[in-house]
Amino acid sequence: LPHRGRSRKRVLVLCTGGTLTMSSDPSAQGALAPVQGALTDYMSSMRELTDDPEMPEIVSHEYIPLIDSSDMGPGDWAVIAQDIATNYYHFDGFVIITGTDTMAYAASAVSFMFQNLGKPVVFTGSQIPLREPYNDARKNLIMAIIFASSDTVSEVTIFFHDRLLRGCRATKVNTCKLLAFDSPNIDSLATIGIHVEEKDHLFLPPPKGAFRVRTEMDTRLITLRLVPGFDDAMIIHMIKAASKETVLKGLILQLYGAGNMPSLKNDLIECLKDATNDGVCVVVSTQCHTGSVIMGHYATGLALKEAGVVSAGDMTLEATTAKLAYLLGRQDLAIDEVRDLMGVDLRGELTPEGLMPPPPLASTYQKAIFKKNRSRIF
């Protein structure tokens, strides 16, 4: 397809490592380890990429050294985002190859780092190394490149197995199956079978402003998953110690169901109230795989809301942590603005409150408002 005077589109493939690039390492008792240069060699011999005139021109770059995704964090994600920004006007799309363990965190973080993204950025990897005779790496790589040359995608995504997912809606759900990622609260953007089925109504619209990148993330936050019978005195001590010693800025609590915690834990609620008064952004997410936090639906949730705690809505934990770190890293935002923006859909990571299904045992009035909002939007 003609594009800016070229006969083919151009896609930049950035490789950080991961299972896709791995081979057994004799020096590590046969454990898998990334092999520098292997991906570039494999891609140069893949006739699907080199001989088909409809496939884009591919330029690959392997970071040195290749690293396991478990060793990656905000600094590494910032490097990826900055490299894409540097090459933004030289390529039509971008593929990021990385390990699966933290891929959803990376995709979420990069989603927030980009403002007014107008080109596809596709994360991918594999459960089986590319060098193995039977693998999922080859298909994932080819389809990621195809979607990276698409005219309909203008957001950060993950392609894995047979589906394209919004990056800030994805989460890893399986360690040993090829269908390793899911998007719990929104359908996949596209699925592949004999044909590619794109769900056009789900894609983010093209941007209206100039492309910008903000890579600063404030990582002074902690995430706590509560379990029945927990010792609230230990949690209170940890929060107070973190606030004093490291200037805690964000606290994410994974609570039960719609965002509930034991109603008798008054000391913990008072501690959370003190933390919000001290400038900590406290966010509640649900431990459930699907669904949303509905603060105020139950009395325990209402107590948290009155303490200044904010809801993560139906965001994944990956999106919640990345979004909070991104907003806290914005030097132009006051803490109250950070709290407000946690409830605002910035990159398609969150279902707006007016479009949420009515909660269990909702009143007829609530259900009517939901139906009205739904018909107005759709």
Residues noted as catalytic: 19
- DSSP per residue, 41-93: HHHHT-HHHHT-TTSPEEEEEE-SS---GGG--HHHHHHHHHHHHHTTTT-SE
Q: Tell me the C-alpha distance between 168 and 278, whole Å.
A: 29
- What distance lies between CA 160 and its chain's CA centroid? 14
Contact criterion met (CB below 8 Å) for 124 and 160: yes
Find all residues with CB under 8 Å of 274, minimum gap 6, and list them. none
Scanning 114-231, the segments in alpha helix (DSSP H) are 137-148
Please give the distance of CA 224 from its chain centroid, rounded to a whole number: 19
The whole-angstrom separation of Cα 313 and Cα 344 is 10
Burial category of 231 from C-beta neighbours within 10 Å (exposed 0-12, middle 13-18, buried 19 and up): exposed
